[in-house]
C-alpha cells in the first residue's frame, strides 16, 4: 500500500524525530525587558572597534590585526539572569574568540571567578564550538582549573541571531541557548562555586594559541575584520548595592530548580550536541574538580 512505510523509511523518521528540537518549557529570555547598551554597559577596550546603534539596541564589535574590543557592565552582580542575542561571522574565523561571560578578574587578578560562554572560531566547512566554562577562585596557585563543556549547535550561528544566556543564583548556574538549558552546574560546596560579585562582559579577541583545534589553526588577518553582533541585552540581577528585597532569579516559574521539561530538553542537547565534558576526560586530574566524583 502507498501509505505503508518501509523499514528504512521508519528508521529515518525515528532518527529525525529523535533529533527534533524539544520545547524548553520555560522562556526566561522573554520574561525580562531588554535594555539599551549604555544603560547596562560601557566600553572596556578597543573603542575604535565598537559600534553602538543609534537606539542603543545593538552593539557590533570586531577584531583586526590592530585590536579586538570588549565591553563591561556598569556594575557588578551577586546573582542574576544575563542574556544577549548574538550573530557570529561566517567563513574563516580560526583563532578568534567571541565571548559573553561573567568575571571578577579585574577585582581579584590571579584569583578570580568566571562563568563563560565562548564561541571558538573555526575553518570553513566545520561548525563553531560553543564552550561553557566555570572557574572558581582562578589560578592563584599557578593552576588554571577550568570546567569546560563544549557543544556543536543545532543551527548555524552565523545565519541569524540566537539567544544565549547565563542564569546564576545561589543554588545553580544554568547555560541557555534559545531558552533550552544545555548545562547545569549545581552548587555542591563553597569551594566549587562562585559566590563573589562578578561583572558581565562581551568581547572578541585573538586566542590563536588554543582556540581552534588546540591552536592548530591561527587567526588569519587576510580575512579581517572578524565581526560579532550583539542585541537584545538582558540583565536582571541583584548587585551588592541592591535592597534586601532583591531576590535571585529562579531557574523555573515555580521558584525552584529546572522543571521536568527543562531537564528533558537539557538531556536532548547533551545527548546530540555535546562534544566534550571535563568530568569524562580521563586525562584530567579530577582531584582538582571534586564535583566530578559525584
- Look up 118 and say whether it is catalytic: yes
Q: Determine the Cα–Cα distance for residues 129 and 85; give it in Å rounded to an integer.
A: 17
- Look up 114 and say whether it is catalytic: yes
Cα first-last separation, the chain: 53
Phi, psi of 223 (to 5 degrees): -100, 10
Q: Could you tell me the three cell numbers for 185? A: 552546574
Of these residues, 118, 148, 213, 291, which one is catalytic?
118
Q: Determine the Cα–Cα distance for residues 177 and 165; give it in Å rounded to an integer.
A: 7
Q: Which residues are catalytic?
A: 114, 118
Amino acid at each position: 500500500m502507498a501509505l505503508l512505510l518501509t523499514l528504512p523509511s521508519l528508521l529515518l523518521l525515528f532518527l529525525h524525530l529523535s533529533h527534533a528540537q524539544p520545547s524548553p518549557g520555560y522562556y526566561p529570555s522573554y520574561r525580562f525587558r531588554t535594555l539599551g547598551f549604555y544603560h547596562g554597559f560601557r566600553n572596556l577596550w578597543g573603542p575604535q572597534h565598537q559600534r553602538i546603534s543609534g537606539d542603543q539596541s545593538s552593539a557590533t564589535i570586531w577584531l583586526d590585526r590592530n585590536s579586538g574590543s570588549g565591553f563591561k557592565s556598569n556594575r557588578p552582580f551577586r546573582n542574576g539572569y544575563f542574556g544577549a542575542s548574538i550573530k557570529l561571522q561566517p567563513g574563516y574565523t580560526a583563532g578568534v574568540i567571541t565571548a559573553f561571560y561573567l568575571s571578577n578578574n579585574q577585582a581579584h587578578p590571579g584569583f578570580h571567578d568566571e562563568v563563560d560562554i565562548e564561541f571558538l572560531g573555526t575553518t570553513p566547512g566545520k561548525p563553531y564550538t560553543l564552550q561553557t566554562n566555570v572557574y572558581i577562585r582562578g589560578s592563584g596557585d599557578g593552576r588554571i582549573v577550568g570546567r569546560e563543556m563544549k557543544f556543536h549547535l543545532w543551527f548555524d550561528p552565523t545565519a541569524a541571531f540566537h539567544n544565549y544566556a547565563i542564569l546564576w543564583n545561589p543554588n545553580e548556574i544554568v547555560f541557555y541557548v534559545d531558552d533550552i538549558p544545555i548545562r547545569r552546574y549545581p552548587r555542591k560546596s563553597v569551594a566549587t562555586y562562585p559566590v563573589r560579585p562578578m561583572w558581565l562582559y562581551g568581547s572578541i579577541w585573538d586566542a590563536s594559541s588554543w582556540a581552534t583545534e588546540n591552536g592548530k589553526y591561527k587567526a588569519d588577518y587576510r580575512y579581517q575584520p572578524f565581526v560579532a553582533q550583539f542585541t537584545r541585552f538582558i540583565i536582571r540581577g541583584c548587585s551588592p548595592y541592591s535592597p534586601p528585597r532583591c531576590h535571585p532569579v529562579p531557574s523555573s516559574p515555580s521558584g525552584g530548580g529546572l522543571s521536568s521539561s527543562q531537564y528533558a530538553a537539557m538531556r536532548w542537547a547533551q545527548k546530540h550536541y555535546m562534544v566534550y565534558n571535563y568530568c569524562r576526560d580521563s586525562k584530567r586530574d579530577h582531584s582538582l574538580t571534586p564535583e566530578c566524583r559525584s
